Structure 1
Amino acid sequence: MASQHRKPRPSGTRVAGIRTPALATAALTSMALLSQTANAAPSADDKPSLEEVEKKVDDLYRQAETATEQYNAAKEKTTKQRKRVDALLDNVAQRAQKLNEAREQLGSFAAAQYRTGASAPDTATFLLADSPQDYFDQTQLMGRLTDRQKGAVDDYFTEQSETMKKRQEATQSLETLTDSQNDLKTAKATVQKKLSAARTLLSQLTAEEKARLAAIEKEKQQEAARKAAELAKQQQAAEAAQAAAAQQESSTSSSADTSSSSPSSSTPATDTSYTTKAEKALAFARAQIGKPYVWGATGPESYDCSGLTQAAWKAAGVTLPRTTYDQVNAGTTVSLADALPGDLIFFYDDVTHVGIYIGNGMMIHAPKPGAYVREESVYYDGESSIHSVVRPA
């Protein structure tokens, strides 16, 4: 009887657990079809703005530079590992030769024992034995060998054991070398992929968009130059204050010591050794201005950022590591306000770019693919991009 009062089931379907009338269902279906059509044929309004393109290109160059430093690290590791493998293989070859000579000597001992009347298997049996020790034990010859012959047997076992160890080391080093080579290929492919994507984006810009992009870049350079001038003023003011303090200290000292025949120098103390080295490094860096940035390059015709700083300080007699990741730890960290010509300035949280400071808020660096070694403000990519300053010597 209760079923007579049951409400009729409404028509329609369920969407996400909610019952919808047939009319609403039709509307949803139409919206879905329109959405699919829009996705299939995007309108011109979907084209990214110039600012979005600029940010994307900058991000791709940054990612390429990160991959470049990873490539540099993998290349350095591969080079070192290859040298180690070659040395181990040479060592194994030399030991194998000694082992063969020792085996021949033991074989001659066995033959001599046989000629003297001892019951011994032939040479083939000796060579097929698990070890010469087993052979001599089985034929009861060890007791009849001279001390010199017994020493030769001991030397053989020692050489055999060391040869096996070196072979294992060589095998492991070959495996590590293979891993390093794979890392090298991956990093190289990543660099090429990022640079190709950046070039593709830039090639799709119209002439008007390229002109606007150049104008935006010029504005950034002007702001960077303004910030560099501010830093230069701050550093000059600090130097003047230090000189005045040194002058005051020198005058006070001279007044107190009337017996001194010559006054103290008023020049503030400086590290002349560092200054001399820095001048050599900067002279080298300046001579590279105009040469192209090429990822993975260390000169003399082209450079990447860390390749340039490494080569510059090498000219001053200071050996720096290859990558930015290691160069940032190869010296004493100082504040940007205290930076001296020759100091290394590192950029970004992942420390993937470096330049060499020349003073007055400026540096020499190899910026990015498509660019050339040049002088530029340390604020070329904004103040927040500066990671640290390191004095390498």
Structure 2
Amino acid sequence: MPVAAGLAFGLLLSPMGPALADPKPTLRQAKAKLEKLNDKADKVVDRYNTATERYKEAKGAYTKLNDSYKRKLDTVADLRAQVINMAVNGYKLGTDPTSLPGLISTDDPSALLTGLTLAGQISKEEAAKLAAFDRENRGLKTERDKAEQALEAADRERDGVEKERSEIMKLIREQKKLLNKLNAYNPGNPNSVGIKYTGPASGNAAAVLRFAYAQVGKPYIYGGTGPRGYDCSGLTQAAWRAGGVSLPRTTWQQWAWGASRKVSLNDLQPGDLIFSNGLGHVSIYAGNGQIVHAPQTGDVVKVVKLSSYGSGLVGAVRP
């Protein structure tokens, strides 16, 4: 990963404490361990983001269905009140003095409908109310069942989010421990105003890069979509939103979204999204051989050379 390489370079320039008396093997070990941790963290964070998106979708579906169920419940209650009122009026008029108690107490709309119909003459308006009550009541159970199923699905997705979050927190503890040992942890500044973009981008890509550069110095936060911090795909999503394009949330989703928009790595233009092998990371090409990205825990949104990726790229997408 690019930051692991950058970190190793930075560590070469940083003073080492007495606990690291032999810096060369320690740096090699640190670089190797960070590369493994960062690569693993990238994949777990993307799984977390995917699980989070699925949970949001499932919770949204449940909320929509539950609201529909509640509206139908209110409609049925209102219609039932109207039907009961019809039965009471019929009783007062002596239309059907023997069946009123049974009609009022029944929970079966069909029985209530039949009883009232047999009780005597009813107007077209009353008949329409009875038919509506019967129809709405029949659909009530279906609406309730749909809402309950959606809630169960949301609960399963929530469990998936919690599982990935637990794994991430474990990885973060390992990363922080190592970075702090090497005096290389950068907490960033959530209020950073970034730097000014002066590269060759034009059109909506210029808006994208102006936004991304304005985030430079803010911390990497797993699951972060701004404004106080970002993960890699959270930054690309927010930046391209500033350029008028709505990207999906995760790295995998952004790669799939760009299936018909892929471009050669030899033909990059400012604003293009660049994806690492394994799709664990995504950055934005800034022009002049540079990228802007949110690397990983312990680092900040930054501008680095594209060459820091090495050969670990799978492709690029032009939104």
Q: Assess same fold via TM > 0.5.
A: yes
User: Of residues 290, 293, 313 in structure 2, which corresponds to 1:365?
Assistant: 293
User: How far apart in 2 are the matches of 1:313 and 1:177?
Assistant: 29
Distance in 2 between the 1:194 and 1:60 partners?
7
Deviation at 1:113, TM superposition (A): 2.5
CA distance in 2, matches of 1:98, 1:359: 60
1 CA distance for matches of 2:209 and 2:117?
A: 77
Question: Is it true that 1:157 corresponds to 2:134 in the alignment?
Answer: yes
Q: How far did residue 151 of structure 1 move?
A: 1.5
Q: 2:308: which partner in 1?
A: 380
Written as runs of structure 1 = structure 2, the 5 A alignment for 1:120-199 is: 120-123=98-101, 125-137=102-114, 141=118, 144-199=121-176
Among 206, 209, 213, the alignment partner of 1:286 is 213
User: What residue ranges of structure 1 are gaps of 5+ in the alignment?
Assistant: 1-48, 214-273
Give me the whole-angstrom Cα distance separating, in 1, the residues matched to 2:303 and 2:174: 27
| Alignment CA distance shift 1:142-1:155 (3 Å) | farther
Is residue 2:227 matched to residue 1:300? yes
> Is residue 277 of structure 2 the alignment partner of residue 345 of structure 1?
no
Q: Which amino acid aligns with 2:65?
A: L
SS of 1:141's equivalent in the other structure is: helix
Matched, 1:313 2:291: no
Partner of 2:7: none
Query: Structure 1 residues 163 and 140, CA, compared in 2 at 3 Å: closer, same or farther?
Result: closer
How many residue pairs are counted as aligned between the two chains?
A: 276
2:270 touches 2:286 (CA, 8 Å); kept in 1? Answer: yes
Q: Percent of aligned pairs with the same residue?
A: 32
1:148-297 equivalence runs, <5 A: 148-201=125-178, 210=182, 275-297=202-224
Partner of 1:3: none
Deviation, structure 1 residue 69: 1.5
| Partners of 1:161 and 1:132 in 2: CA distance | 8
1:281, distance to aligned residue in structure 2 (A): 0.8
Instruction: Please state how far the C-alpha of 1:143 moved relative to its aligned partner.
Output: 5.8
What's the CA shift for 1:308?
A: 1.0
Tell me by how many angstroms 1:53 deviates. 4.7
Q: Distance in 2 between matches of 1:157 and 1:141?
A: 16
For 1:170-197, what per-residue CA distance to the aligned partner results, in whole angstroms no more than 9, with x for missing partners? 1111111111211111111111111212
The equivalent position to 1:325 in structure 2, one of 252, 268, 290, is 252
The CA distance in 2 between the partners of 1:76 and 1:374, in whole Å, is 26
Alignment of 1:57-96 (within 5 A): 57-96=34-73
| Structure 1 stretch displaced more, 62-71 or 114-123 | 114-123
- Would the alpha carbon gap of residues 136 and 167 (structure 1) be closer, same or farther in structure 2, given more than 3 Å must change? closer
Residues 115-152 of structure 1 deviation map (CA, whole Å, 9 limit, x = unaligned) = 333243344x3243241321353576266333222221
Q: Is the 8 A contact 2:290 2:305 kept in 1?
A: yes
Stretches of 4+ moved more than 4 A in 1?
A: none
Q: Between the two structures, name the one with larger relative contact order (CA 8 Å, sep ≥ 6).
A: 2
2 CA distance for matches of 1:368 and 1:67?
A: 12
Secondary structure of 1:379's counterpart equals helix
2:263 pairs with 1:334: yes
- Cα distance in 1 for residues equivalent to 2:281 and 2:134: 54
CA distance in 1, matches of 2:58, 2:128: 36
Which stretch has the larger CA shift, 316-325 or 112-121?
A: 112-121
Give the aligned partner of residue 23 of structure 1: none
Residue type at the aligned position of 2:83: L
1:336 to partner: Cα distance: 0.3
Output the CA distance in 1 between the equivalents of 2:65 and 2:156. Answer: 18
Any unmatched runs of 5+ in structure 2?
1-24, 185-200
TM-score norm. by structure 1 comes to 0.64
* Deviation at residue 109 of structure 1 after TM alignment: 1.9
Alignment-derived partner of residue 227 in structure 1: none
- What is the distance in 2 between the residues matched to 1:301 and 1:132? 56
* Closer/same/farther in 2, CA of residues 189 and 278 from structure 1, 3 Å limit: same
Aligned AA for 1:278? A
SS in structure 1 of the partner of residue 158 of structure 2: helix
**Aligned residue for 2:189?**
none
Task: Note if contact 1:342-1:356 (Cα within 8 Å) is conserved in structure 2.
Answer: yes
Q: CA deviation at 1:90?
A: 2.5
Task: Choose 1 or 2 for highest CA Rg.
Answer: 1
- CA gap 1:101/1:168 in 2 versus in 1, 3 angstroms: same
Paired with 1:303 and 1:172, the residues of 2 have a C-alpha distance of: 33
User: In 1, Cα distance between the equivalents of 2:107 and 2:36?
Assistant: 63
